[in-house]
Amino acid sequence: MAIDPLTLTIIWNRLTTIAEEAGNTLRKTAYSPGIRDAEDCAFAMFDAETRMMAEAIYTPGQSASMPFALRHALDVYPASSLEPGDGIVVNDPYLGNGHLNDIYVLLPVFFNGELVAYTGCCGHHSDVGGAAPGSQAVQGVYDLYSEGMIIPPVMFYRRRQLVTDVAELIAANTRIHDYTLGDLKAQYNACTVAERGLIRLLEEVGVDAWGACLEEMLRRTEAEMREAIEALPDGQYEYEGFLDDYEEGSPALRVKATLTIAGSYLAVDYAGSDGYVPAAINCPYNLTYSYTLYALKAVLAPSLPANEGIRRPIRVVAPEGSIFNPPFPAPCAARAILVPRMIDVVMGALSQVTPGRALAAASHFDNTMMGGRDLKTGRPFVNFQMISAGFPARPYCDGEEALPLGYNTGNVPIEIDEAVDPVVIDRFEFIPDSAGAGKFRGGLGIRKDIRLLAGPLRLSNNADRHRFPAWGLYGAGAGTVGRILLNPDGEARPLHSKGVYTVDSGEVVSVQVGGAGGWGDPLERAPKAVLEDVLDGVVSETAAHSEYGVVIVDGRLDETGTAALREQMARAKRGANA
């Protein structure tokens, strides 16, 4: 069936609209702050062959992993056994998205009695049981079983009826059973919103036109992805970095990516990366695949729709037993910690072939969680902090302030945190002189101090780049390292980036996230831009002098002094390099 540009445009747009509508419904009806406020969720649709057709753009990893989750679910419930209104639920990290908190709900779509598509969504649930509130402790967990409840693919709705036994079993295994069930129902409901949208579309255009458009969409997306790869010189490009450690005293973990470009084919291989570890930071392959794809797409084809077509020319390899492909049941709750490391090294490798496009290294997020009992309400609570800091510098401009790279979870308003949980936030501010210096500087680091009004509480940290800062590229400086201090204004006690502690009412947890890496020689930065940063108090006069060679006197630029200082610094640098 030949497809004209108008019909193709109409159907393609409609598929995206349907996914967005369902995604919106999910976000607005969810209970977990991760889903409703932070948008740590995903919505996508697949054809009967499980090829991704369209997504609502929220958290790219969850949607990129969804085809794996769907295929595994169909291994348990073959397509022939499914009926309209069936909803399958799964959170097994090795089948889904790499940790138990991400629960998928998947629904078959029937048209004229035939299974024609699937709709599915994922949401980060605040708690799925296990050793620590929030179910994401890095330490003190031995294996996947100690992290929380494992849900293999099971039928959660059968012919539009809630399977109450399963629901009860799930609810009984979380600390916040009400919310968990509310969220799962919201997820199922969102799947049915898209189901109705797809059926309406099929009624309008017919199965044949729809099928032909789908083939054409995938073909074109694939062709464009291949074109983008083909434009790069063939060869192998490596980059490596390190994860601080996985517990106090443990060794740093090597993270290495090798990019192979051969014609219109691209492979990323994590060979050379360290083996999996006895802590919950191992990154199951699905998530390794998903965020590698994200980094490649963001640099090579940011505006291409994320359907099956972009996956075809790309291969992601992670040696079995490595931190990027651990064996079941290695613990993995906090595996998101490896995602920025992965994006950074893929960007580093890409920067060698696409110097005008790839980014420096980003600030690493801090995902600190505190849980216990709220004395005022008597209710158990989990306070979930997601602190993102600097976006890396780019070959064409500074990194943005306070924006994450890869994941896209926002913050929870301080006033809501304080109204709902027994905490008071003492500060939420940029850290001066924390950004990597460069022709373009990185985004700044951020400090957030959380004062506890209840105790004793269990605190679990989930952070990195406390030892290895975010690097700069092409002569730029790195960002600062981060740290977490208990009671910063008293006898400050440094906490480990992945430690689990008991803290008490009245104590203050000070999270200080380091800045992002710069791009290009700092001596080439426009002196005016350095002056602006000094006036805004984010770069000190001392740093302007020592890192940028810019002389500022009484809030004004000393142009002659700057020229002389820069020349002297450039000479010294050349001397050092000679």
Which residues, 441 to 460, sit near another protein by CB under 8 A?
Answer: 446, 449
Position among 146, 260, 408, 546 found at the interface with another protein (CB under 8 A): 408
Q: How far apart are CA 407 and CA 454, in angstroms?
A: 31
Nearest distance, CB of residue 376 and another protein, angstroms? 10
Among residues 384, 278, 284, 288, which one has the least CA distance to residue 339? Answer: 288
Cβ closest to another protein, residue 153 vs residue 422: 422
The stretch near another protein (CB under 8 A) out of 219-227, 322-330, 467-475, 541-549 is 219-227
Among residues 476, 411, 479, 483, which one has the least CA distance to residue 443? Answer: 479
Cβ closest to another protein, residue 93 vs residue 390: 390
Which residues, 269 to 298, sit near another protein by CB under 8 A?
Answer: 294, 297-298
Interaction between residue 529 and another protein (CB under 8 A) = no
436 near 391, Cβ under 8 Å?
A: no
Q: What is the 3-state secondary structure (H, E, C) of 219-273?
A: HHHHHHHHHHHHCCCCEEEEEEEEECCCCCCCCCEEEEEEEEEECCEEEEECCCC
Cβ closest to another protein, residue 36 vs residue 465: 36
Which residues, 354 to 393, sit near another protein by CB under 8 A?
Answer: 359, 388
Position among 178, 203, 248, 559 found at the interface with another protein (CB under 8 A): 178
Nearest distance, CB of residue 508 and another protein, angstroms? 12
Cβ closest to another protein, residue 394 vs residue 545: 394
Phi, psi of 158 (to 5 degrees): -120, 120
Position among 230, 238, 374, 418 found at the interface with another protein (CB under 8 A): 418
Q: How many residues bind another protein (CB under 8 A)?
A: 78
The stretch near another protein (CB under 8 A) out of 65-73, 109-117, 167-175, 300-308 is 300-308
Matching residue, tokens 């017919």: 206
Cβ closest to another protein, residue 134 vs residue 499: 134
448 near 528, Cβ under 8 Å?
A: no
Cβ closest to another protein, residue 362 vs residue 500: 362
Q: How far apart are CA 134 and CA 54, in angstroms?
A: 31
CA 428, 434, 440 angle in degrees (round to 5)?
A: 115
**Cβ burial 461-495 (10 Å sphere, 16+ → b, else e):** bbbbbbebbbbbbbbbbbbbbbbbbbbbeeeeeeb
Which residues, 483 to 522, sit near another protein by CB under 8 A?
Answer: none
Cβ closest to another protein, residue 322 vs residue 480: 480
Interaction between residue 115 and another protein (CB under 8 A) = no
Which residues, 321 to 360, sit near another protein by CB under 8 A?
Answer: 359
Interaction between residue 97 and another protein (CB under 8 A) = no
Among residues 489, 470, 480, which one has the least CA distance to residue 512? Answer: 480
Cβ closest to another protein, residue 85 vs residue 272: 85
Which residues, 28 to 87, sit near another protein by CB under 8 A?
Answer: 28-31, 33, 36-37, 39, 57-58, 60
CA 526, 528, 530 angle in degrees (round to 5)?
A: 80
Position among 76, 115, 424, 570 found at the interface with another protein (CB under 8 A): 424
368 near 463, Cβ under 8 Å?
A: yes
